[in-house]
Structure 1
Amino acid sequence: MDEIITPETCDYTSCYCEENVWKLCEFVRTERTARLEELFVVFISNGNRTVPLWKQKSGRGDQPVIWDYHVVLLQIRLHSSSLVYDLDSELSFPCTLKLYAAQALRSDHNIKPAYHRKLRVVPADSFLLNFASDRSHMKNSDGSWRMPPPPYPPIRTTESQMNLEDFISMSPAVGWGRVFSLDHFLQRHMGDSSSSSSSSSAAASSSP
């Protein structure tokens, strides 16, 4: 999959990361560039909607960008490194989960609890089947767009026109998939979280 998909082949609209990933999953399903069961959509957020990520294109130097939420695609491969697809990252597309953890996620150990990350991991087939957004979260009170929307129609299902909040929420009681702390996520998918912890100490002074 990583040899076939490039940023240029992806549908991309700035500030609509959830839809960018949905379209990427749809491309994989249509073109069969990978086994869909290898793919997982990862929502990164917390109860405060303040999550730092490094190596983002909208960042400045080594300062993190504070998102209310962010969405990436994770490809778990049995016989080689897992890969992360993040169209908003300065890192390679894709990059290994190990590199993404060390450079983009880093660690919660040196930042204030209000900025600690949680991750909702949703199988790609479930995301394609259940996700819906009418993009109302991107409109101002007067109905104008905060950021221009994608050119294609809003994504909806027969059951819903808008359930984005169920994916952004980090409450295990709602939504699809499983919710992890950052440490638990890295321990599950990398075996340990030390690779991210060590790299964050150098950036502690610039962390939230």
Structure 2
Amino acid sequence: MQRDGYQSITSSRDSCVYTSCYCEENVWKLCEYVSAQSPHLVGEVYAVFISNDRRTVPLWKQKSGHGNEPVIWDYHVILLHKSSQWGQSFIYDLDSVLACPCDLQLYAEQAFRSDQGLKPAFWRKVRVIPAEMFLKTFASDRSHMKKAGVWHKPPPPYPCIQTPESGMNLDDFISMDPSVGVGNVFFLSEFIQHFTENL
């Protein structure tokens, strides 16, 4: 369970920069906030992309879910804080009905659940990118949210996130091919074990 006294590394949930269906940008903005407001902690923060080769990943306890049914995303992005002070990892998921932040173990039990019992097509993988690297390398022109020139969901009000090298590399982050992009790719169970035991 979450330890008493842990202070959120972001602003309050209601005041976080948030746009529905743009989870990758929401997490980028969270990383940007930590980098600016708590630079001594940014080395403990990671962007976590959840997907698989078929881009069909179930997650429970999502705001867009219905009852106890999972939401099937093509991908989802959350923030992980591996707190050296508390010896514990915390998840920030602005799309979840769980607490934000939420202890990783609790999030794993309620939102991830287990790949056992799921068809292999739904098994989850994660790509873990240090926040500083994510801020320097991620770019999106939001074209994946347009169809025939029409927005599938309204875009964030701020300009597109770009780097000097790229205007759009979102697919490299969603890919679970370890030879592509930045960061480290884990099977879901490996990710949970790594960030709950290696503190």
How many residues align? The count is 191
Q: C-alpha displacement at 1:34, in angstroms?
A: 5.6
Q: Cα offset for 1:79?
A: 3.8
How far residue 138 of structure 1 moved from its aligned partner, in angstroms, is 0.3
Question: What secondary structure is seen at the aligned counterpart in 2 of 1:174?
Answer: coil
Residue of structure 1 in register with 2:64 after alignment: 58
Match of 2:159 in 1: 153
The Cα offsets for residues 50-94 of structure 1, whole Å up to 9 and x where unpaired, read as 000000000011100000000000000124221000000000011
Deviation at 1:156, TM superposition (A): 0.1
1:124 maps to: 131
Q: Structure 1 vs Structure 2: percent identity of aligned residues?
A: 59
Amino acid at match of 1:98: Q
Q: 1:151 is matched by which residue type in structure 2? A: P
Higher helix share goes to which structure?
Answer: 1
Any idea what the Cα deviations from partners look like across 1:106-131, whole Å, max 9, x if unmatched? Answer: 10011000000000000000000000
Distance in 1 between residues matched to 2:176 and 2:39, nearest whole Å: 30
Partner residue of 1:83?
Answer: 90
Give, in whole Å, the separation in 2 of the partners of 1:88 and 1:34: 27
Q: Report the counterpart of residue 191 of structure 1 in structure 2.
A: 197
Quote how far apart the aligned CAs of 1:6 are.
1.4
Matched, 1:39 2:53: no
Structure 2 unaligned runs (5+)? Answer: 1-6
CA gap 1:128/1:71 in 2 versus in 1, 3 angstroms: same
Task: Structure 1: state its 5+ residue gaps.
Answer: 193-208
Instruction: Spell out structure 1 runs of 4+ moving beyond 2 A.
Output: none
**More off after superposition, 1-10 vs 115-124:** 1-10
Q: Which residue of 1 aligns with 2:117?
A: 110
Equivalence for 1:167: 173
The alignment's TM-score, normalised by the length of structure 1, stands at 0.89
Deviations 1:9-46 (A, max 9, x none): 21100000000000111111112276100100000000
| Other-structure match for 2:106 | 99
CA distance in 2, matches of 1:94, 1:34: 19
Distance 1:74 1:4 in 2: 12
TM-aligned CA deviation for residue 191 of structure 1? 3.2
Please tell me the root mean square deviation across aligned C-alpha atoms, in Å: 1.4
Structure with the higher fraction of residues in strand conformation: 2
1:6 aligned to which of 5, 12, 34: 12
Secondary structure, aligned partner of 2:14: helix
